[in-house]
Amino acid sequence: MRLHNREVRQDVRELGTLLGDILEEQTSRQAFETVESCRQAAIDYRAGELDSRESLITELEGLSPHQQRIVARAFTTYFELINLAEERERVRSIRTDSQEDALADSLETAAAELGDEDIETVRQVLEDVLIEPTFTAHPTEARRKTVKSKLRSIATALETFDERLLTDKEKRQVWKDVDSEVTSLWQTPQVRNRQPEPEDEARNVQWYLQNTLFDVVGEIYDEFADAIDEEVAGDLDIPKLFEFRSWAGSDRDGNPYVTPEVTAKTLERQRSVILERYREQLKRLSGVLSQDGSRIDTGPAFQAGLEADRERLPGSAETAAERYPDEPYRQKLKLMRERLDRVGDVRPGGYDDAEELRSDLTVIASSLRDNGAESVVDAHVDPIRRQVATFSFSLASLDLRDHQQKHTDAIAEALEAEGVDYHGLSEDERVELLTDAILQDEPVIDLTATADLSDDSARVLRLFDRLADWQTEYGVEAIDTYCISMTEEPSHVLEVLFLADQSGVISLPEHCGIDIVPLLETEYALSGARRIMGSLFENEAYAQALEARGRTQEIMLGYSDSNKENGFLAANWSLYKNQRRLGEICDDHDVTMRLFHGRGGSISRGGGPMNEALLALPNSTVTGQVKFTEQGEAIAEKYANPRIAERNIEQMLNAQLRARLYAEDQPEEEVREEWVDAMETMADVARREYRDLLESNGFVQYFEQATPITVIEDLDLGSRPASRSGERTVEDLRAIPWVFSWTQSRCILPGWYAIATGIDAYLDDGGDVETLQEMYESWPFFRTTLDNAALSLSRTEPEIAAQYAELADEELREQFFPRLLDEYERAADLITQIGQREQLHTRDWLGENLERRNPYVDPLNLLQTYLLDRSHRTDIEERTLRLTVKGIAAGMKNTG
């Protein structure tokens, strides 16, 4: 059976040709020939037909600023289009493998593994699993919203060509639309002319939830239910397995622009968006449920619900009866839509919460089943019930977040008016004061008394003052989590509990309306996990809050800053060890742990295939509940296309179900002591080597000179500043621009540096390659770590990185670049040897991808280095430089 009409080479060829035609039409024949000459020179060098890149470099440097800008725009636009072609190829692969029953990590394979277990085990695994993708506003998306909109239109046209049978006339019309969009894309500014605001970022996240995930989730549940019915003997209800969350519009860490007003608008918009989607679904359902009431018995439960709605909304009930005589389901659905219209309205009769809506749908489903309409329920009612369970009335629950120092300072300033020198107290004294304050009935501070406070402290108190109102208006589940960045002491968690207590969000021991989530990201915090969490679990006030939250503790692990502080290998080992340690601490205190993985899009920030990451977690930490961040360009890559979004969610669910099943069978992962010793040796030496690099005199200057960091800081990628205090230090710089800068220069050292030094130290200490090969073969953590490093190494281009190194002062270049190059070459050799393969990466598609892309990224890199080297750039050169950053990001399909 032929599923598709095209292949990726055809898409690439035709889009490239179209772009060339538009380039010539919109500029000149000379401009077209210039771009072609650069393109061919880059290809010829990669193919070995040229001995050096000198001719390409000479041509680029000899162009006028206007011509350079055209070249940058041409290659940037090319990558935007080729990315769509490769996205289409991913969809082809998914559909083909699905048709041939060859999809790895599918819902069917997960159901088959569950089918080997008794039904009670299956039921328990399903009840345990809850997957919470959490969308952040972290600024790594380099494309403008306008550009993304045009690209989606082109993607839709490619889908039409590929999956529909078209007449020649229809093909010409679709291609005419593509021509129009690409022309418009060429004429559209690629670089933002203003910094995005937090509300822009919130709307961006909402788009994916509203337009892709809302529909995809229902399909996933439906497919999984079918797979379970096929494999598991017995009657099973599929519980809620997913919940989406967001930081966009609520993450205050380092972003002064995320005000309480921004959060309030985000809550209102999200509720408005999801209610409109439910109205659409109920309207569609009304078109299906046209049953004649005189021929069926809807049952007492349905009739009671309909009568209650008639009493609640008499005017609307009369209208419904006139419009739908003898059609009880349609009458009910009309009144349900009216109740949705009144959510948050001054008029009475609206739903109090999403559970009431779900209850109505459940009653309709039962009534239909009693009338022999099981297929109607399966196809039309159950998907909506699952959407309501997943998205509630909030679309995505908001997590609040801020830096621990902000809470400390706000409390200190507020308590100063009460005669308490909070800053002067020891840690034990702070814990005692906060505990007593939380447990006493009378408030200690007035959250509204902010006139004499600093702006930052006033903002903190104002937020907590509004929190209780938000929970009253939108429901506790709409905004019920508070994450504390840089948590290092128990008092940092108790400070948030204290502020929540003062706002009325908690009333112990009966009620706690918020989960407080420590973010452990520094080595001090991670190694002190027992000191922090053990103290909290034994604290009288916190123990009551924990009890009120069902004895579930969410703990966030910071991958980005841990990597920036310790280096790739040491950070991964520290995170692995400390996850196990946290699991032990929670077990010791009879607490269910939910790990929140603060993963970025890039390998060095915890990125990589999510399903592999979930399966590589220590068994003792897999409680079933898992949460992780989705951010930047990874959101568009995973969730813009519905079929790819469905596949990503399918793989997540497959991995988490299997991981939970393995953890049930074997709660403690068996890791041989000699493997642990090997990792300790490698990680310790790797960390020292990495820290020595960062702390070497002149390294910060080298980083500043040999990467485009100064350009990236001014790119208007997101609403949040690039550094925490504006100081020029690696520690102060945020992890995203740190990784982004190295990625641009094609020396992706955050993803591999010091791994070779660590492995060599183990071998020099008496270790052997055979043991490392055995670790790679049998230990998912070690295999995933090396494979992820291999991906970063594969994307590193030493020759291009050398061009960036030439930008640095000669003394700095000679001090650092040979050191980086030596580490790269040794790491590449060692990983291929340990993995017992000839090439670095294990994915054939990556090799094809790099071969297709590298020759087109090279001219952008060379043009960027030329412009970076100019001490005085004109306005047009400055814009071209910024455009090369966008183009390289598109070509690398990665920023930070």
Active site residues: 138, 564
Q: Which of 199, 230, 210 is nearest to 101 (CA)?
A: 230
DSSP 715: S
Q: Which of 102, 367, 114 is nearest to 238 (CA)?
A: 114
Q: Which residue shows structure tokens 């960027």?
A: 864
Cα Rg for the chain, rounded, in angstroms?
29
Q: Which residue shows structure tokens 């500014």?
A: 189
Q: Which residue shows structure tokens 């009880």?
A: 328
Long-range contacts of 866-874 (CB under 8 A, 24+ apart): 866/57, 866/60, 866/61, 867/68, 868/708, 868/711, 868/804, 868/807, 869/806, 869/807, 874/65
Continuous H helices in 101-213: 107-115, 119-128, 145-163, 168-187, 198-208
Q: Which amino acid is at 884?
A: T
Q: Which helix (H) or strand (E) holds 516?
A: strand 515-520
Neighbours of 851 (CB within 10 A): 10
Q: Which residues pair with 594 in a beta bridge?
A: 554
Measured distance CA(215)–CA(220) in Å, rounded: 9
- Is the separation of the CB atoms in 126 and 247 below 8 Å? no
Instruction: Dump strand ranges (E) for 365-443.
Output: 397-403
- Is the separation of the CB atoms in 263 and 199 below 8 Å? no
Measured distance CA(571)–CA(782) in Å, rounded: 13
How are beta strands 511-512 and 506-507 bridged, if at all? Answer: antiparallel
Q: Which of 725, 646, 696, 644 is nearest to 817 (CA)?
A: 696
Phi and psi angles of residue 707, each rounded to the nearest 5 degrees, phi first: -140, 165
Neighbours of 417 (CB within 10 A): 12
> Cα–Cα distances in Å, from 3 out to 14, 108, 638, 756?
20, 21, 22, 45
Largest CA distance in the chain: 91
3-state secondary structure of 809: coil
Q: Which helix (H) or strand (E) holds 305?
A: helix 300-312
DSSP 372: T
- Terminal CA-CA length for the chain: 41
Measured distance CA(803)–CA(57) in Å, rounded: 10
Measured distance CA(349)–CA(344) in Å, rounded: 10
210 token code pair = 């509203």
300 token code pair = 């007492």
Measured distance CA(559)–CA(575) in Å, rounded: 8
Q: Which residue shows structure tokens 């200490």?
A: 765
Measured distance CA(749)–CA(755) in Å, rounded: 10
Q: Which residue shows structure tokens 């032990």?
A: 584
CA 667 from centre of chain: 28
Q: Which residues pair with 553 in a beta bridge?
A: 593
230 token code pair = 């096929």
Q: Which helix (H) or strand (E) holds 671?
A: none
3-state secondary structure of 627: strand
- Is the separation of the CB atoms in 548 and 510 below 8 Å? yes
